[in-house]
Structure 1
Amino acid sequence: MTLNRPLIPGRAGALLAELGDRAVCCDLYDEVGAPVYHDLAGQDTHEVRELLTLVRTVPGPVLDLAAGSGRLTMPLLASGRDVTALELSGSMLKLLTARLAEAPEALRNRCTPVQADMSDFALGREFGVIVLGTTSVSLLDAPGRKGLYHSVRAHLAPGGRLLLSTVDLTAGDQAPTETEVEFTADSGRSYRMFEYWTPGAEARTVTVFPAVIGGEQVDVCTTTIRVLSADQLEEELRQSGFAVCSRRLLPDVGARHHSVLIEAEVTA
């Protein structure tokens, strides 16, 4: 879905202005942006090992929320678990389905893709572990997070665990206002990714350009992600009937990312 010109700050905004009418803005999760997001996710193994370690301690099927194109779904399946992959974006689910089609049949048969909203879902079954990784909780506003916690409570088996991660920009030194990373994905496509955050602001902006700009049209993918501290999420979880079992500071990624993994269970 093509967006109207969003207000993009910093160097990314200046580059967008230079491109003028050649630039076509899209959401990072729509039909145009989904392959770009898939390329980004394919470069990122952050938190995967830590999540898998915790998942192994709890039996039962796994629900992977905001599964995207399978960044966590595929490792979870490879670990031998039955996985339901819930994703709102049809474009993302198409990418996941294509990956599953190329996977071994035994692995493919243990995955159930579901198109649904992580803030309001009813699957009619319980799970030993519900995972919300890739800091995707930051995509939800306050009412959305309240709905998420309610839905998770209804789907966690007794003794089950909720695992969710967040980028806690209060967990270290204040980050620079803007960072830029250039990389080449496994697909062979190259990108320039800008991330802009003003210390204290409620959200950060991520904008992705092709590294080599040519042709009459340039697809520019962007999204705005809320900044949610681990303290805030833990308090919301407690208010929604969860007890926090552990909080783990994950290895830093780049100059600004201080990711935290929270483990919670439903209170009696």
Structure 2
Amino acid sequence: MTTTLTTTPMSEAGHRLPTPADVPGRAGELLASLGERAVLCDLYDAVGASVYHDLAGTGTHEVRELLALVRRIPGPVLDLAAGSGRLTLPLLALGREVTALELSPYMLELLDRRLADAPPALRGRCLPVRADMSDFALGRRFGAIVLGTTTISLLDAEGRQGLYRAVREHLEPGGRFLLSTVDMTATASGPAEVDMEIVTDSGRAYRLFEHWTPDAGSRTVTLFPAVTAATGPVQVCTTTIGVLPAELLEAELAAAGFSVRSRHPLPAVGERHHDVLLETEVTP
């Protein structure tokens, strides 16, 4: 069962509803060509959550590296922005107690379904919680707090400050805060927009556009069905994500009272995604 906490007021899925004006480049042109047939969805709403979950199951980006760090850290784990459990289930498989914190109720529904199909011993070690990662109070501490998939980029500067405060309050003495972000020093410039087709493990295929120039402060990801019918509605999912370079993140963490213990470059995803996993602790 999911526990719900009072959080900073936000939309139900944690994002404002997208508009066609939010979609730049060729993705925007394709969206415009669909006209009224296009049904635009946020990537974390009732429709988008299922698409995000489908895509998240296609790879193990950063999972192996994160689990290797968690193995060395005793105690329960807090998985922030847990989504449908991309990291939660592997963390549970380590034999740990895991609190899975997520704001989107649609993501939590997917996680609850996955837990219902899991072995009872694994399911019994997980507590899903609906809360905002920038403002939460769980009344307990954790040996490790993790925030993967460069999700910190979804928060603005004020939200990140709230996150740092909450993490400090929930870490055990000597605990670790593990989080990933973009390593701009390793990220190739590349084209402004990438257009690729992705076939997921479920067999569904998507056409994914990512519009981003490294000097921009955000990137826009838009997903269409790889094949669209000649008539009828077409669901299009999009989200705009901030880009937080590792150097800026490390400076913010230092100002918030964290020390970076280690920096782990992550395997590249395509030509433009060079991320880094930071292992941090509260500065003594």
For the aligned pair, the TM-score class normalised by the smaller chain equals over 0.9
1:220 aligns with 2:244: no
1:242 aligns with 2:258: yes
Structure 2: distance between partners of 1:107 and 1:213 = 40
Task: State the match for 1:41 in structure 2.
Answer: 56
Task: State the match for 2:274 in structure 1.
Answer: 258
Task: State the match for 2:125 in structure 1.
Answer: 110
Q: Identify which of 222, 234, 248 aligns with 1:232.
A: 248
1:82, distance to aligned residue in structure 2 (A): 0.7
Structure 1 unaligned spans of 5+ = none
Alignment map for 1:183-194 (pairs within 5 Å): 183-194=198-209
Instruction: Rate the CA distance shift 1:201–1:23 in 2: closer, same or farther, 3 A.
Output: same
Structure 2: distance between partners of 1:261 and 1:175 = 22
Structure 2 unaligned spans of 5+ = 1-12
TM-score when normalising by structure 1: 0.97
- The number of equivalent residue pairs is 268
1:17, distance to aligned residue in structure 2 (A): 1.1
The residue matched to 2:22 in structure 1 has which SS?
A: coil
1:186, distance to aligned residue in structure 2 (A): 2.2
Q: Identify which of 169, 185, 199 aligns with 1:154.
A: 169
Task: State the match for 2:9 in structure 1.
Answer: none
Give the letter aligned to residue 232 of structure 1: L
CA shift digits 1:59-89 (9 cap, x unpaired): 0000000000000001101111110000000
Structure 1: distance between partners of 2:22 and 2:78 = 35
Structure 2: distance between partners of 1:135 and 1:251 = 13
Structure 2: distance between partners of 1:143 and 1:242 = 17
CA shift digits 1:91-124 (9 cap, x unpaired): 0000000000000000000000000000000000
Structure 2: distance between partners of 1:155 and 1:168 = 27
The residue matched to 2:53 in structure 1 has which SS?
A: helix
Contact 1:169/1:257, CA 8 A, preserved across alignment: no
Alignment map for 1:1-20 (pairs within 5 Å): 3-20=18-35
Structure 1: distance between partners of 2:49 and 2:113 = 13
Contact 1:176/1:256, CA 8 A, preserved across alignment: no
CA shift digits 1:161-205 (9 cap, x unpaired): 000001233423313211122122222221111101023110000
Contact 2:18/2:239, CA 8 A, preserved across alignment: no
Instruction: Rate the CA distance shift 1:12–1:171 in 2: closer, same or farther, 3 A.
Output: same
The residue matched to 1:257 in structure 2 has which SS?
A: coil
Structure 2: distance between partners of 1:95 and 1:108 = 14
Give the letter aligned to residue 267 of structure 1: T
1:60 aligns with 2:75: yes
Contact 1:12/1:207, CA 8 A, preserved across alignment: yes
Contact 2:253/2:259, CA 8 A, preserved across alignment: yes
Structure 1: distance between partners of 2:195 and 2:104 = 27
Give the letter aligned to residue 137 of structure 1: I
Give the letter aligned to residue 91 of structure 1: Y
Structure 2: distance between partners of 1:106 and 1:88 = 25
1:9, distance to aligned residue in structure 2 (A): 1.2
Q: Identify which of 186, 199, 224 aligns with 1:171.
A: 186
Contact 1:24/1:217, CA 8 A, preserved across alignment: yes
Give the letter aligned to residue 130 of structure 2: Q
1:11, distance to aligned residue in structure 2 (A): 1.3
Task: State the match for 2:195 in structure 1.
Answer: 180
Q: Identify which of 148, 157, 160 aligns with 1:145.
A: 160
Structure 2: distance between partners of 1:78 and 1:95 = 18
Structure 1: distance between partners of 2:77 and 2:198 = 32
Contact 1:193/1:208, CA 8 A, preserved across alignment: yes
Identity percentage of aligned residues: 68
TM-score when normalising by structure 2: 0.92
